[in-house]
A and B are shown apart, each in its own frame.
Chain A
């Protein structure tokens, strides 16, 4: 039972982590919280349902389609909702936050309109493959989700620290104007960041569809809030923090249900976060400076 619940927790945590990675990237570079991220995640899940269940195409096409659509959404989010507000005189620093909230409402209601309000099943034979070890059942999907999330984190860390584009991104995060003076194409860097973050959301959406077989227009909201809590826990703008925070929250939630009372699931999870933040206000992996997370 313990092992099985641990696997449940890690699966849930891995998905939280991928969602949080998208949040943390955008926050790290732009210093804003992208409230539309949860809804982009939801759209990714719906694309998965469309491609596999409705059109009956294989899973890898679903992945590509979801990544493509969410990346496009990310591009549009940046062009339509974020860029017009950037660097303008007199625009409040909260304006981009509000504009992403607007996008999230739009996306939720749009998908409500197109797909209907109910849950949509994610029919896929791959999701049924399981390994039996003693009394413990492990699904290939669960392993896949865990592996994908770790891989994404490693790739992202490598990309940020070693490649030229990653360095440009970090320079932009450090100071937009200076980076731009030094010849970094900040416009392109920011667009790339939002696109990558959104594509991560899309991947997480498909994984949720496969793991839990439940996709609905409202799933973005709760996932978005969890993602937000995780990046605060892990340290704003920190990639490793998002990963660790996600896994921690997932395992914590599962263990509370397994050994405590399932009614306190969210309460205990968030109390844990408050405690961590009392001890380390900058988050688990945050830098201990006033500029932490920028």
Chain B
């Protein structure tokens, strides 16, 4: 026994030595960012991506990186700017998001960051990026207060505080609703912030909130909450949920005989809802920056290309990611060099950039300026809600 212990100590100390050696080796490698700064040819830059690629929310990260990769191919083919993406997995965890962000930031070749996927992750990564002076843009972080973190923090995702009131207003007017029930995921900043907005809006509009129910990510049984809601007979159900949970909630609700419309937040808006819940998804009302059926050549071309490449319709996450890389391209082009500060200043200047989401501008703090579209699921697809 003792022999084994001795041997393992020896092994461990050897391993540690190797590790130490490896560390110092990393440190002495000179930063080779000079090649990207030659003024003649197109700007070439590396951009770090932090995405939720494994774990319960991996579906979102998948759509987001698909959007990036599609845009990347096009941008590099066009050749105004050469971009290289370095993609890291945050697994939806704050600490892992921070670790990979630090790893990306310490690479001097990387001039900008895209992601992370969740607002909770952005709350820890954002301040760090701001401190290090590297521009970071969230493509799916919709909670309140994200761009306010610092000068270097941007987002191109429509915040819930714009989307939810738009959807709620139209839904209430159309259904002459007076009472609502609220259902939200209480273990995620994204759905929680959506809930805060919903509650505030409902109170502002003088609606009677009958009950507030919660659920957790990855739960599969919502019957208890829904039975309670069914008994209270609300005119509308406000659900702040991501589509994966939201679709299952609608399915169980419709089966139970709850037939009132649902008003969802940003994360509820995905063609996947129809795929998962089928007929049960009828009557979901959402406000969205992204509408795939829009009669615009740019949008249709994106949908076609995305479907060809990935075999699924792009959702809002993919569309926002796609546009985000184009915003980065525009920023790099205007900056004229692969430099972090120049990129930040160029990003802040962006106005009326045409993307698949529509005309896009940043406001003073780096937040989104755009008009949301309100949609309803009818006859098995998203349609404009009038």
Give chain A's interface residues, CB within 8 Å of chain B: 1, 4-5, 8-9, 11-12, 109, 112, 116-121, 123, 128, 137, 139, 208, 211-214, 216, 218-219, 221-222, 253-254, 257-258, 261-263, 265-266
With CB as the reference atom, state the residue of chain A lying closest to B228: A258
- A266 vs B217: C-alpha distance in the bound complex, in angstroms? 13
B201-252 contacts to A, CB under 8 A, are 213-216, 218-225, 227-228, 231, 244-245, 247-248, 251-252
Of B54-62, B67-75, B316-324, the one touching chain A: B54-62
With CB as the reference atom, state the residue of chain B lying closest to A123: B278
Tell me whether B255 is interfacial, beta carbon within 8 Å: yes
10 closest A-B pairs by beta carbon, nearest first, are: A257-B224, A117-B58, A117-B59, A214-B248, A8-B223, A254-B224, A212-B220, A263-B214, A118-B59, A214-B220
- A11 vs B215: C-alpha distance in the bound complex, in angstroms? 18
Task: Please give 13 more A-B residue pairs, beta carbons under 8 A apart, in addition to A109-B54, A214-B251.
Answer: A5-B224, A112-B58, A116-B62, A119-B244, A121-B275, A121-B278, A213-B248, A213-B255, A218-B55, A253-B224, A262-B213, A263-B214, A265-B216
- A165 vs B222: C-alpha distance in the bound complex, in angstroms? 40
Q: A5-B224, A219-B218 are in contact. Are A212 and B252 (CB under 8 A)?
A: yes
Q: Is the CB of A257 within 8 A of B213?
A: yes
B313 to chain A, nearest CB (A): 13
B320 to chain A, nearest CB (A): 18
Q: Is the CB of A218 within 8 A of B218?
A: yes
Most buried by B among A119, A219, A253: A119
Tell me whether B179 is interfacial, beta carbon within 8 Å: no
With CB as the reference atom, state the residue of chain A lying closest to B232: A1
- A263 vs B216: C-alpha distance in the bound complex, in angstroms? 8
Number of A-B contacts (CB under 8 A): 92
On chain A, the residues within 8 Å of B257 by CB distance are 137
Tell me whether B94 is interfacial, beta carbon within 8 Å: no
Q: Is the CB of B244 within 8 A of A213?
A: no
Q: A121-B278, A263-B186, A266-B216 are in contact. Are A1 and B227 (CB under 8 A)?
A: yes
On chain B, the residues within 8 Å of A263 by CB distance are 186, 214
With CB as the reference atom, state the residue of chain A lying closest to B270: A118
- A226 vs B18: C-alpha distance in the bound complex, in angstroms? 42
- A263 vs B247: C-alpha distance in the bound complex, in angstroms? 20
Q: Is the CB of B56 within 8 A of A218?
A: yes
Q: Is the CB of B221 within 8 A of A12?
A: yes
Tell me whether B276 is interfacial, beta carbon within 8 Å: yes
Contact with A212, one of B248, B276, B278 (Cβ below 8 angstroms)? B248
Q: Is the CB of B221 within 8 A of A211?
A: yes
Tell me whether B36 is interfacial, beta carbon within 8 Å: no
Tell me whether B350 is interfacial, beta carbon within 8 Å: no
B276 to chain A, nearest CB (A): 5
On chain B, the residues within 8 Å of A139 by CB distance are 255
Q: Is the CB of B221 within 8 A of A118?
A: no
- A164 vs B345: C-alpha distance in the bound complex, in angstroms? 79
On chain A, the residues within 8 Å of B20 by CB distance are none
Q: Is the CB of B227 within 8 A of A5?
A: yes
Q: A117-B62, A212-B252 are in contact. Are A222 and B224 (CB under 8 A)?
A: no
Q: Is the CB of A257 within 8 A of B247?
A: no
On chain A, the residues within 8 Å of B224 by CB distance are 5, 8-9, 253-254, 257-258, 262
12 sample A-B contacts, Cβ–Cβ < 8 Å, listed by A number: A12-B223, A112-B54, A120-B276, A121-B276, A121-B277, A128-B255, A208-B220, A216-B244, A218-B218, A222-B218, A262-B214, A262-B215
Q: Is the CB of A216 within 8 A of B218?
A: yes
- A221 vs B55: C-alpha distance in the bound complex, in angstroms? 11
B297 to chain A, nearest CB (A): 30
- A86 vs B227: C-alpha distance in the bound complex, in angstroms? 49
B371-386 contacts to A, CB under 8 A, are none
Q: Is the CB of B272 within 8 A of A118?
A: yes
Q: Is the CB of B228 within 8 A of A257?
A: yes
